[in-house]
A and B are shown apart, each in its own frame.
Chain A
Amino acid sequence: MPLKSTILMQQLVKTYGHGEAQIKALDGIDLEVYENEFVAIMGPSGSGKSTLMNIIGCLDRPTAGSYLLAEEDISKYNKNQLALIRNKHIGFVFQSYNLLPNVSALENVILPLIYSREPSMDRASMVQKARTCLESVGLGDRLHHTPQELSGGQAQRVAIARALVNDPMLILADEPTGNLDSRSGLEIMDILKDLNLHGRTILLVTHDEKIASYAHRIIHLKDGKIEKDVPNGSNSLSEEVKDARR
């Protein structure tokens, strides 16, 4: 059974500015990420990591080239359509958590449900769904705490619960452990690893080799180009995936 690709990019280019001042943030990216892969993206700052993540996450659109998400070409989608894709298929985990302040953990996790175009979902089932997600990241006893009342590790777990609540196929984690102490960082990585084991595709941006070592595959970016794309030793993807890629 051939593997489905979650992300398929061909000759993807992203430029900013015009004429002399034009900057090529991404310069001909060819990238394929399969379903259920765990991929780490590394590279110095300015290498195009964030731009790539933003385009993968449908927060931005490429200047040229094609981008297929779950075999669907979304490079020509408008802002409203992209918002729906983000809502349904992508869960974001940010370095700085990006939770709404003054709002409980539960309400933060409900947020994506509010914007989902599911007219049938009532308040009670939203609460139920959000509660289940928070329980799955071990925060069943912190439902009504606001982000200010939570530790960094707990806040990031709320963010993960929020990323999961619409059951997306892709989790994008941008330096998820960057603001955390090493112990909390490892907890977060264990949760991400667990999510991957349960079938979710994960894309992770990090500077940290140790964090990157959780991935099946590590991509190094430099000057908007893929410099290296290597399987991650002992942790690399199963044999069948390798077969499919050959």
Chain B
Amino acid sequence: MRADKVLLIAWRGLSKNKTRSLLTMLGVIIGVAAVIIMIAISSGTEKEIEEQITGLGSNLIFITQNFSRGGFSRGAPEQSGGLVYDDAFAIADHIPGITGVVVEQDSNEDIKYGSINLESVSILGTTADFPTVRDMQLSSGRYFTEEEIQRKQKVAVLGAKLAKELFGDAPVVGQTISVGNVKLVVIGVFKEKGLIGNIDFDMRVYVPISVVFQKFTPSMFARVMGDRVRMIYVKVNPEYALEDIILQIELLLAKRHGVRRDEADFLITTQQDIIATREATTEAFRNLLAWVAAVSLIVGGIGIMNIMLVSVTERTREIGIRQAVGASPNDIRWQFLTEALLLSLVGGLIGVATGVGGAWLFNQFGQMRTVILPQSILLAFGSAAAVGIFFGYYPANRASQLDPIEALRHE
């Protein structure tokens, strides 16, 4: 029998029972949609991480306060002072293989320029190596120097978007803006960098860290040298082993802080650690979805098998009639297998639409970035077809083995 005839007979068989067919497909629909969303989320996350790696610049080490040990929680913070500004320079001076050290301290202030008033803009106090370490490039003007940091010069470098909002297309360098109560002279503008993590690098004001300490932080921190900082970034020359450098930093800081290495008041994290943590989270989510997909597809398959068995029983007489006029066991098997396959493929098609739509919704309204891969659609569709064939074979084979005499007698 020709394929188009088989398909036509199967299609008619299914369209007689539309509601039932749709309900039968539900499992497959959910399974296929889950496969697509799962892959879209994991590839979206991968892409995001990839972008973050390039965004951060590679070979970064982050040193943060360990709040569970020493630091602020200690009774006598003066003795074990936590992470301080000088630590950064000690690292830069004493450890070979380091291309840059950056200290960051942030704040939020209102910004005024002429009639423009921006509320609560992110202010980042930082150091001279910042553009190198974070791979930031200037589109105009220049970055502030070590000397300007020492002298607490009231200068600022703007993110690209912020500059645009304040000045439009007018020249920026040399203008004075009000940040909180402080007037700062703009000396440069960064090129666009985009979002990294949740931070918009283009909507920030970059100022010498000393200015942040002095002007934008509460007075108890209002000293430059010896002040506590939240984070130190260290960029490592790729020719040096990261582990060695971490060990040297650990030893140096432990000595400076007067603590043992195993009860350090600071934490050293690499970019790989951060990525690994994020990947572990998405991995868990991805595994969950993979299970949902697999279980739905199997349940969907069992649903198809169940309905096909009911259908074979209901249509026993029809099968008998077909056999009497010359349908062979192969013809009958194909008819019911095609019906099962058609159910799973139409279910798969609806599932693909649902999955693609779901992934898009996640992207638009969820906190999750999704990328829909064409291969995932093929994979999902393929698994739907496999489910149809696998679970459709048993009922189809049963139909084909019916005795025509018995079948014709069936009421």
A binds B: yes
Chain A residue with Cβ nearest B411: A96
Interface residues of A in 42-70 (CB under 8 A from B): 54, 57, 59-60
B325 on the A face (CB < 8 A)? yes
Q: What's the least CB distance linking B398 to chain A, in Å?
A: 14
In the bound complex, how far is the Cα of B353 from the Cα of A147, in angstroms?
Answer: 40
B405 on the A face (CB < 8 A)? yes
A136 on the B face (CB < 8 A)? no
Chain A residue with Cβ nearest B12: A103
Q: What's the least CB distance linking B175 to chain A, in Å?
A: 80
B408 on the A face (CB < 8 A)? yes
Chain A residue with Cβ nearest B4: A123
Chain B contacts of A197 at CB under 8 A? none
In the bound complex, how far is the Cα of B326 from the Cα of A88, in angstroms?
Answer: 8
In the bound complex, how far is the Cα of B327 from the Cα of A166, in angstroms?
Answer: 13
A23 on the B face (CB < 8 A)? no
Asked if B329 contacts A86 (CB within 8 A), the reply is no
Interface residues on A, range: 20 to 34
In the complex with contacts A60-B405, A100-B318, A119-B2 CB distance below 8 A: yes
Interface residues on B, range: 20 to 34
Asked if A98 contacts B408 (CB within 8 A), the reply is yes
Contact with A along B307-341 (1 / 0, CB 8 A): 00000000001101111111111110000000000
Q: How many A-B residue pairs have CB under 8 A?
A: 60
Chain B residue with Cβ nearest A117: B1
Q: What's the least CB distance linking A148 to chain B, in Å?
A: 14
Give the interface SS of chain B, mostly helix, strand, loop or mixed: helix
In the complex with contacts A59-B404, A115-B1, A84-B326 CB distance below 8 A: yes
> CB < 8 Å: which of A54, A100, A111 contacts B405?
A54
> CB < 8 Å: which of B1, B321, B331 contacts A99?
B321
In the bound complex, how far is the Cα of B408 from the Cα of A100, in angstroms?
Answer: 12
Contact with B along A135-176 (1 / 0, CB 8 A): 000000000000000000000000000100010000000000
In the bound complex, how far is the Cα of B331 from the Cα of A111, in angstroms?
Answer: 12
In the complex with contacts A98-B321, A100-B321, A116-B408 CB distance below 8 A: no
A80 on the B face (CB < 8 A)? yes
Chain A contacts of B331 at CB under 8 A? 83, 115
In the complex with contacts A59-B404, A102-B16, A111-B2 CB distance below 8 A: no
In the bound complex, how far is the Cα of B320 from the Cα of A102, in angstroms?
Answer: 16
Asked if A59 contacts B323 (CB within 8 A), the reply is yes
In the bound complex, how far is the Cα of B408 from the Cα of A131, in angstroms?
Answer: 26
In the bound complex, how far is the Cα of B405 from the Cα of A115, in angstroms?
Answer: 18
Among B323, B328, B330, max chain A CB count under 10 A is at B328
In the complex with contacts A60-B405, A98-B408, A162-B325 CB distance below 8 A: yes
Asked if A80 contacts B330 (CB within 8 A), the reply is yes
Q: What's the least CB distance linking A114 to chain B, in Å?
A: 5
> CB < 8 Å: which of B1, B9, B324 contacts A98?
B324
In the bound complex, how far is the Cα of B325 from the Cα of A88, in angstroms?
Answer: 9
B5 on the A face (CB < 8 A)? yes
Interface residues of A in 170-185 (CB under 8 A from B): none
Chain B contacts of A60 at CB under 8 A? 405
A38 on the B face (CB < 8 A)? no
Q: What's the least CB distance linking B354 to chain A, in Å?
A: 32
Asked if B1 contacts A79 (CB within 8 A), the reply is no
Asked if B324 contacts A115 (CB within 8 A), the reply is no
Asked if B327 contacts A83 (CB within 8 A), the reply is yes
A92 on the B face (CB < 8 A)? yes
> CB < 8 Å: which of A88, A98, A115, A166 contacts B320?
A98
A87 on the B face (CB < 8 A)? yes
Asked if A87 contacts B326 (CB within 8 A), the reply is yes
In the bound complex, how far is the Cα of B322 from the Cα of A99, in angstroms?
Answer: 10
Asked if A59 contacts B330 (CB within 8 A), the reply is no
In the bound complex, how far is the Cα of B329 from the Cα of A45, in angstroms?
Answer: 30
A224 on the B face (CB < 8 A)? no
Asked if B325 contacts A59 (CB within 8 A), the reply is no
Q: What's the least CB distance linking A54 to chain B, in Å?
A: 5
Chain A residue with Cβ nearest B318: A100
Interface residues of A in 68-94 (CB under 8 A from B): 79-80, 83-84, 86-88, 92, 94
Asked if B321 contacts A112 (CB within 8 A), the reply is no
Q: What's the least CB distance linking B231 to chain A, in Å?
A: 75
In the bound complex, how far is the Cα of B324 from the Cα of A116, in angstroms?
Answer: 12
Asked if A115 contacts B321 (CB within 8 A), the reply is no
Chain A contacts of B320 at CB under 8 A? 98
Chain B contacts of A59 at CB under 8 A? 323-324, 404-405, 408
> CB < 8 Å: which of A57, A83, A98, A166 contacts B329?
A83
Chain B contacts of A54 at CB under 8 A? 405
Chain B contacts of A80 at CB under 8 A? 328-330
In the bound complex, how far is the Cα of B240 from the Cα of A246, in angstroms?
Answer: 112
In the bound complex, how far is the Cα of B324 from the Cα of A112, in angstroms?
Answer: 9
Chain A contacts of B321 at CB under 8 A? 98-100, 111
In the bound complex, how far is the Cα of B9 from the Cα of A166, in angstroms?
Answer: 20
Asked if B324 contacts A114 (CB within 8 A), the reply is no
Which A residues are closer than 8 A to B by beta carbons?
A: 54, 57, 59-60, 79-80, 83-84, 86-88, 92, 94, 98-100, 102, 111-112, 114-116, 119, 162, 166
25 A–B pairs (Cβ distance < 8 Å), ordered by A: A54-B405, A57-B324, A59-B323, A59-B324, A79-B328, A80-B329, A83-B323, A83-B326, A83-B327, A83-B328, A83-B329, A84-B326, A86-B326, A87-B325, A87-B326, A87-B327, A92-B325, A94-B408, A98-B317, A98-B321, A98-B408, A102-B16, A111-B321, A115-B1, A115-B325
Which B residues are closer than 8 A to A by beta carbons?
A: 1-2, 5, 9, 16, 317-318, 320-331, 404-405, 408
In order of increasing CB-CB distance, the 6 nearest A-B pairs are A87-B326, A83-B328, A115-B326, A112-B325, A80-B328, A59-B404
Additional 11 contacts, C-beta under 8 A, given A84-B328, A112-B325, A115-B325: A59-B404, A60-B405, A79-B328, A83-B327, A83-B329, A86-B323, A92-B325, A98-B321, A115-B322, A115-B328, A119-B2
